[in-house]
Every structure is written in C-alpha cells, then in structure tokens.
Amino acid sequence: MKTVMAFGTFDVLHPGHLFLFSEAKKHGDRLVVVVARDKTVQKVKGHQTLHDEQKRLLAVKQSTEVDLAVLGHLDDVYKVLEEHKPNVICLGYDQHAFTDKLACELEKRKINASIVRLPPYQEHLYKSSIIKSKHASCQQDVL
C-alpha cells in the first residue's frame, strides 16, 4: 500500500484544500493529512487561527479523500514522517514552511519518499488568506 502525506493549517477548509486532497490521493492508496498545531501556526504565520487545532482536525477528518488525519508534533515537526513513513509527500503550490529542509530530513530519517508539488486550484478564489479577508470585511459590515 502506497502512503501519501500532505500537511497544512486548514483553518477554513475550502475547495482549494479539497482539490489538494483529491490530487494528493492520486499519488497513492492511502492519504494521511497532518494538521498543524495551534502553536506551530502562531510561530510560523505570526497569528492565531480562526479555529483551534481540534476543530481543524475534525474538519479534515470529515473529507472523504482523507484516510487518516493527525495533528503534527510540537517538539519535532518532522517526527510524523517517522510514524507514518510516507512513500509520497504532496505539498501545496504555495506551501513553504518546513519544506526547505524536507528532503534532508527524509534522508536523515532513512525515509525513501518522493516530494511532489501540487498545482493550485483557482487560487484567486480559494486561498485561505483571501477567504479570511472576505470574512473579516463581512464582519465589519455587520457592525
């Protein structure tokens, strides 16, 4: 069985994320999605998420393409690789956090996995930062 792994925050699960899951699943038999921890998101992006890690994890688990959804690790973000030993790692087109050392970490941990950069899906519409800014402006209109 070929295991594919994808990573992300998935704060506002949208069609772009569902496309990512669908495209990733094409690279193997089993899709494992790693949801970033709240503290990791704060550290990497410099802001909190709209939804906490448990709500984001639950949303990802409900996707029909995802076979297993797990939270990442706080102490070692690459530890999840050792636990699930993916054959393929699929990255989003705009995903850059922790990807610069990914190949080295795979080699160091003796995991033979290919890294695939997936294409975007209507990124002018379905990008979390765009969706969140629209949500924020709608909230301000209500006030």
Domains of the chain by residue range: 3-142
Question: Contact, 93 vs 59, CB < 8 A?
Answer: no
Superfamily of domain 3-142: HUPs (3.40.50.620)
pLDDT value for 38: 96
In tens, the pLDDT along 24-44 reads: 999 999 999 999 999 999 998
Confidence (pLDDT) at 104: 95
Residue 62: is its pLDDT beyond 80?
yes
State whether residue 134 is helix, strand or coil.
helix
- The reported pLDDT for the residue numbered 143 is 39
Q: Whole-angstrom Cα distance, residue 92 to residue 119?
A: 7
Q: Is the pLDDT of residue 133 over 90?
A: no
Q: From CA 81, how far away is CA 58, in angstroms rounded? A: 21
Q: What is the tens place of the pLDDT at every residue in 43-61?
A: 988 889 999 999 999 999 9
